[in-house]
Chain A
């Protein structure tokens, strides 16, 4: 085993000691979609039943949500595109207030924006429009004589 391998294993072990020793403050409840959590040393996909530690940050994707159940009886739910960092010194109300948007969509290089994280109502409208759009694509294509002639056989 090389010196570097030893260093890697040792470092990972020390990191786990350093960041894994945060007090367990609760448990992750229901998880929908992709949710990410970081303890400051590593990042992982959040799974139900996982321990919630002091200082841990949770971030939901545009289609993700997670329920965090703290041992003090506080339960909070992160909706899509939200983030919160768990701080044992905060009250439940403060923690709930600390839930923030997980950042606007900004293209690398700082130019332009892209849509994302729309509310459920907007997504519903988008859904209807999308299906209608799909329908009209098909309908218009079918009515197009040239398309009919080109692929008729």
Chain B
């Protein structure tokens, strides 16, 4: 320190004073917080300003008379508190149930629980259209699962078409959820078919919704319903074998070509459509050497019992597969192990296109739909995998006789 410089006076308060001041500050903060918490709890739990905050005692803990007492106390403090009236209505099952419902309907007409109660009341009084109107609103605007389940049951009841038809214009906003619940609850699907057919023909619901329902029908084995709905979407006649020339992109969940789902990294066959000169699009299959998931590709074909001929063209190059590939027609009903028809093994053609054909005899026991599928000619060859490439084009199925 240089000589002549004066030392600055120590402006700090003594330690003891600072300690006392800090203590007073903490005490003031604690008092403020205690007061604020009390006020907030009063607002949140008694006046229900912010009932969504998890601050209050769980009212569900209180039961029966205790709960009624609690609600009455709350209403005495705040007579216009609609939520307490609603809850009181819900637990009241005696003489006051109906008057309370009327009162609460006037007090909170758009409360989802009140709407749900009113829908239940209308259903009990057999006023289906009005009940369905409320339930649809609850699904569309309130996303209420109970309303969705109720609509699913109404749809499965067989009376759903008439009740739900007036709401088809907004079908895209509630029908997908209802169909999802219909399948999840394992309710009967056929009663929903007429409504879906109307929705499909009027174009009021999107394609994925119809595809979802077709897939559900297929999964339930309701082939005739699934096919008739799919066909109604085609807007005109379609060949027995759909997209046999592979010109259109494959559409899932219908009656188009479909592959067995496998991870790309484990796929034994990579199926695609590619352009092949003047042929246009063809079915292209690249074999990777990994085990093959069978069928490589399939189409469920709607064909009543009878005799058919499948013909088409194929080409393969550097195909290394024991006994080659084979097309087979297998019943969806009865014994699928015995094919209704099967081609000879299709060996390597060294890059040239060749024709092939085979007869299919669909027995009455087969049902209305069979699976036309590409397999390995030798069943054991699938696990060994294949190498090379194959392509197919111009597949056609024609009936030969009954």
Whether B191 and A108, one on each chain, are in contact in the complex, defined by CB atoms closer than 8 angstroms, is no
**A21 close to chain B: CB less than 8 A:** no
**B123 close to chain A: CB less than 8 A:** yes
**B398 close to chain A: CB less than 8 A:** yes
Which residues of A have CB within 8 Å of B128?
Answer: 131
**Nearest-CB residue, chain B, relative to A82:** B224
- What secondary structure prevails in chain A residues at the interface with B? mixed
For B, the interface residue count at a CB cutoff of 8 angstroms equals 87
Which residues of B have CB within 8 Å of A128?
Answer: 157
Which of B149, B303, B396 lies in contact with A137, CB distance below 8 A? B149
Which of B51, B151, B220 lies in contact with A107, CB distance below 8 A? B220
A152→B393 CA distance, assembly (Å): 61
Which residues of A have CB within 8 Å of B396?
Answer: 11
**Nearest-CB residue, chain B, relative to A46:** B228
A146→B67 CA distance, assembly (Å): 13
Whether A145 and B221, one on each chain, are in contact in the complex, defined by CB atoms closer than 8 angstroms, is no
A61→B335 CA distance, assembly (Å): 24
**B320 close to chain A: CB less than 8 A:** no
Interface range on chain A: under 10, 10 to 19, 20 to 34, or 35 or more? 35 or more
**B332 close to chain A: CB less than 8 A:** yes
CB distance from B164 to the nearest CB of A (A): 12
Which of A61, A123, A137 lies in contact with B225, CB distance below 8 A? A61
**B251 close to chain A: CB less than 8 A:** no
**A3 close to chain B: CB less than 8 A:** yes
- B139-163 CB mask vs A (1 if < 8 Å, else 0) is 0001010110111011011111000
Which of A57, A103, A126 lies in contact with B223, CB distance below 8 A? A103
Whether B159 and A61, one on each chain, are in contact in the complex, defined by CB atoms closer than 8 angstroms, is no
Task: Compute the total of residue contacts between A and B using a CB distance below 8 Å.
Answer: 243
Chain A residues 70-126 with CB under 8 Å of chain B are 81, 83, 85, 87, 100, 102-110, 112-118, 123-124, 126
A112→B304 CA distance, assembly (Å): 22
A138→B194 CA distance, assembly (Å): 25
Which of A38, A108, A126, A149 lies in contact with B302, CB distance below 8 A? A38
Whether A106 and B190, one on each chain, are in contact in the complex, defined by CB atoms closer than 8 angstroms, is no
**A135 close to chain B: CB less than 8 A:** yes
**B360 close to chain A: CB less than 8 A:** no
**B359 close to chain A: CB less than 8 A:** no
Which of B189, B218, B245 lies in contact with A4, CB distance below 8 A? B245
Which residues of A have CB within 8 Å of B111?
Answer: 152
Which of B93, B119, B228, B332 lies in contact with A36, CB distance below 8 A? B228
**Nearest-CB residue, chain B, relative to A8:** B245
Q: Which residues of B does A touch, CB under 8 Å?
A: 51-52, 59-60, 67, 83, 86-87, 90-91, 93, 111-113, 116-117, 119-120, 123-124, 128, 135, 142, 144, 146-147, 149-151, 153-154, 156-160, 187-191, 193-194, 197, 218-225, 227-229, 231-232, 236-240, 245, 247, 278-280, 300, 302-304, 306, 332-336, 364, 367-368, 371, 393-394, 396, 398-399, 402
Q: Which residues of A does B touch, CB under 8 Å?
A: 2-5, 7-8, 11, 15, 19, 33-36, 38, 40-45, 55, 57, 59-64, 81, 83, 85, 87, 100, 102-110, 112-118, 123-124, 126-131, 133-135, 137-139, 141-149, 151-153
Taking A108-B218, A116-B189 as known contacts, 14 extra A-B pairs with beta carbons closer than 8 A to each other, sorted by chain A number, are: A4-B394, A41-B239, A42-B240, A103-B367, A104-B333, A110-B335, A123-B191, A127-B157, A131-B153, A134-B123, A135-B150, A137-B149, A139-B124, A147-B146
Nearest first, the 3 closest Cβ-Cβ pairs linking A and B are A130-B157, A40-B399, A138-B120
